[in-house]
Amino acid sequence: MILIIDFGSQYNQLIARRVRECRVYCRIDPPDIDIDYIKNLKPEGIILSGGPSSIYEKGSPKVDPAILSLGIPVLGICYGMQFMVSALGGGVKRTNKREYGFAELDIKQQTGLFKGTGTKTDCWMSHGDSISKLPRGFKTTASTKNTKIAATVHPKKKLYGLQFHPEVHHTPKGKRMLRNFLFDICACKHTWTMKSYAQESVAQIKTVVKDKKLILGLSGGVDSSVTALLIHKAIGKNLTGIFVDNGLLRKDEGSKLKKTLKQHLNINIRFVSAKNKFLKALCGVTDPEKKRKIIGKVFMDVFEAEAKKIKGAEFLAQGTLYPDIIESQSAFGGPTSVIKSHHNVGGLPKNMKLKLVEPLKYLFKDEVRLLGKELGLDEDLIWRQPFPGPGLAIRIIGEITRKRLFVLREVDDILLEEIKNSGYYKKLWQSFTVLLPIKSVGVMGDQRTYENIVAIRAVSSKDAMTADWAKLPHKLLGKISNRIINEVGGVNRVVYDISSKPPSTIEWE
């Protein structure tokens, strides 16, 4: 495995993805981890991420410098390189010319990280500080016009530093550099597969849960379905799935999911209707973070009430994924900026009596789908588009009412029907509608109307960390808009969201 130390870079998840694409397992931990913890992990290599801080600033994140003396190869990227140099007696200072974007890299020797990269290549820079002095034993291996020490190495200690970001696609030879680090320098092997991950997860679940009973929150999506299969393999009949109808589901989704779950998952499932509890708690609430927190609390209240009926239930499992953790809890406690409270992560009460089990929390969505295939999950469940835990509550901007829920359900049903009929459903990461808190003037049947505006959101993505708006055919968009306005009372305008992530998020709230 490869250990990635989170110094707060916006590209942390990209580093992890690049490593896993090479079929090498990795995980991200914060810089305040104990050196003995690292020794026990026994990583083949360590990557120090970039970050927004300056190494000489008070309070800037730092890992125990002993990490550089373990005999394990270390790759420092941007701020990670500056930490390495500073910790070993070198110098880092503010540059006269900050360097952002493309730069031409002049490679001095094609060995180590630069094996097979050529003498010149583009790289992606993002820094205002640079190395002013290298520690003893280090040498410069690459430069750019504005950065004399763009890459460095201490050959004997196997310490490597890059001032640029090899993990982004703007550095065309970056994957080659990372592969050189993984396989030539760290001697990793291509052994991390979904089969091995499944075997390790099953063994770990057995060790943690033992003969106790575990309750799983089922939503009907791929995450919770894969979680169910994985846990069922580990503890069998001691698993009970609970599906909570929170009143925030899409049209007829509760009954459809009940049928699907019973048909495809050979586990004990309890179905609980709690619509009134959720809607009552959400009455008058408009702030999106408050919505998430309320839904999380009511969800757990319902869960714990149901759990009391199951003698010996001590664990709660959730289909939390890696992007949920990265965006909700600053990547394992590191200094990365929090983007949102996730229903599975930020919305759980602190006094929760059940112990949490999250076997997918180190996986990205596409990896979960591969795991689902490995476990034999039905194709329809594997390719179901993501649906947020808070449901339609975060797709209705403003107050949640039964009337507004009805309108959005009807609108969303039309959209999904047309997306599926057009053959775009599997091509898109997500496609859904949003009910806006404003109205607009229209003309229908020669009469003036003042009705709701609906936004269509359709995006393509690989893991939800970044996403681009989908270039759907105008004819398809026109048909969807025409049907919505003609068939759903109370809507007279449809707009299409053409924002990418970043700077926008996929969901509107």
Confirm whether 78 is a catalytic residue.
Answer: yes
Beta bridge partners of 61: none
Where are the strands (E) in 10-118, listed by range?
26-29, 45-48, 74-77, 91-107
Catalytic residue among 123, 127, 154, 167: 167
Per-state percent for the chain, helix, strand, coil, to nearest 5: 35, 25, 40
Confirm whether 200 is a catalytic residue.
Answer: no
Under 8 Å between Cβ of 14 and 169: no
Q: E strand or H helix at 313, and its extent?
A: strand 313-317
Confirm whether 165 is a catalytic residue.
Answer: yes
DSSP 196: H
The residue among 77, 258, 93 whose CA lies nearest residue 181 is: 77
**In which order are the strands placed within the sheet that holds 151-154?**
26-29, 2-5, 45-48, 74-77, 159-162, 151-154, 139-143, 91-107, 120-133
Query: In sequence order, what are the residues at sequence separation of 6 or more whose Cβ sits closer than 8 angstroms to the Cβ of residue 14?
Result: 167, 168, 465
Under 8 Å between Cβ of 117 and 176: yes
- Give the Cβ contact number of residue 376 at 10 Å: 8
If you write DSSP's letter for every residue of 241-280 in order, what string do you get? EEEEE-S-S-TTHHHHHHHHHHHH--SEEEEEE-HHHHHH
Query: In sequence order, what are the residues at sequence separation of 6 or more whose Cβ sits closer than 8 angstroms to the Cβ of residue 251?
Result: 409, 410, 412, 413
Phi, psi of 164 (to 5 degrees): -100, 180
| Burial grade of 463 (CB within 10 A; 0-12, 13-18, 19 or more) | buried
Q: E strand or H helix at 452, and its extent?
A: strand 447-460
Under 8 Å between Cβ of 300 and 215: no
Catalytic residue among 127, 154, 165, 342: 165
CA distance 76 to 68: 10
3-state secondary structure of 113: helix
Phi, psi of 460 (to 5 degrees): -110, 140
Cis peptide before 166 (omega within 30 of 0): no
Q: How many residues does the chain have?
A: 509
Amino acid occupying residue 274: A
Catalytic residue among 78, 123, 186, 188: 78
Catalytic residues: 78, 165, 167
